[in-house]
Amino acid sequence: METKYPLSAANEDYLEAIFELRDEQGATRSVDLAEHLQVSKASVNKAVGILREAGLVEQEPYGAIRLTQTGQERAAEIFRRHTRIKRFLVEILGIDEETAEQDACRMEHVISTVTRDHLYKYLREVLE
Amino acid sequence: METKYPLSAANEDYLEAIFELRDEQGATRSVDLAEHLQVSKASVNKAVGILREAGLVEQEPYGAIRLTQTGQERAAEIFRRHTRIKRFLVEILGIDEETAEQDACRMEHVISTVTRDHLYKYLREVLE
DNA sequence: GTAAAATGTTAACCGTAACTAACTTTTATA
DNA sequence: TATAAAAGTTAGTTACGGTTAACATTTTAC
């Protein structure tokens, strides 16, 4: 299968949103993704196709989207990165929730794993 | 003229590199830009055209590239952002120069002005 | 001063990621 | 249950930012 396929920032966003918008059965609808990410249904359809090819989600035609095991892990990691960056912005730099959310959305795609880990460590130390 | 034209991340990179690679006369050569940014001469040519349209640089055919007044200010601000983010990564998070440089390159394009200002303030406080 | 090398320009192309419009399928409702 | 609305799909378009290849202009070296 696919071990560590790199995802584009856009596709990381789709994966993360699928993770966030799951219902009790773990299903996510395309239309909700489109709404959440403010893109067209067509864009969602294409992106989900890519995530499917990459083995990160499953979806039968006209059906709901579900994360695979790998997809789930990958998405959770992205989500964790996002929330920690946001925490840093809010709790350390004192930035408002709204701005922090938007900035975290973009920063999560550009920091290296080295910086990510140092940031986590810093958060643990400073917020004990 | 153009008051606050938004630049894409790519074009901010070109502008910043033009700023960094100026010689004593304030001139930058396309070929050096291409080398520095690791792109083709054709890409440089296209990007410089956009910066020219935006009133940020001047260049007569086959001549050197020079920043206009606005271009100079804009580039200096981008450069400042870059170096401060890098300082943060190196001096606060303890990341190595190499990684910090690469991450700063990407982070500089995605942080809001709010976050930028809070980061500067934090740097001043922590590094007194 | 001319020929070769270096530099700059242009045209045509590619991939990504968005869009709209038209269509199919599914779901909900009257 | 038939039909209208909602959701999903597909095809074709656009903009951006890169590419290569061929060409034009400058600069350098003999």
CB–CB contact A122 B96 (8 Å): no
B103 and chain A in contact, CB less than 8 A: yes
Task: Residue B51: name the closest of B22, B14, B77, B26 by CA.
Answer: B14
A126 and chain B in contact, CB less than 8 A: no
Q: Phi and psi for A67 in degrees, rounded to 5? A: -75, 140
Burial class, B115, CB count within 10 angstroms (exposed 0-12 / middle 13-18 / buried 19+): buried
Query: What are the pLDDT tens digits along chain B (128 aa)?
Result: 444 678 999 999 999 999 999 999 999 999 999 999 999 999 999 999 999 999 999 999 999 999 999 999 999 999 999 999 999 999 999 999 999 999 999 999 999 999 999 999 999 999 87
User: Residue B3: what pLDDT?
Assistant: 46
User: What does the buried/exposed string (b/e) look like for B24-55 if buried means 16 or more CB atoms within 10 Å of the residue's CB?
Assistant: eeeebebebbbebbebeeebbeebbebbeebe
> CA B94, B100, B103: angle at the middle one, nearest 5?
130
B49 Cβ neighbours under 8 A, 6+ residues apart: none
Q: Are the beta carbons of A56 and A68 closer than 8 angstroms?
A: yes
Question: CA at B39, C1' at D19: how many angstroms apart?
Answer: 9
The pair of structure tokens assigned to B3 is: 């008051």
CA atoms within 13 A on the CB side of A93: 29
User: Residue B1: what pLDDT?
Assistant: 45
Give the global pTM.
Answer: 0.93
Work out the average pLDDT over A56-67. 97
User: Residue A2: what pLDDT?
Assistant: 43
Question: CA at A35, C1' at C14: how many angstroms apart?
Answer: 30
Q: How many angstroms separate the Cα of B84 from the Cα of each of A94, A98, B6, B94, B113?
A: 18, 23, 21, 14, 13
Banded pLDDT at A4 (limits 50, 70, 90): low
Name the percent of chain A lying above pLDDT 90: 94
pLDDT, tens digit, for every residue of A89-119? 999 999 999 999 999 999 999 999 999 999 9
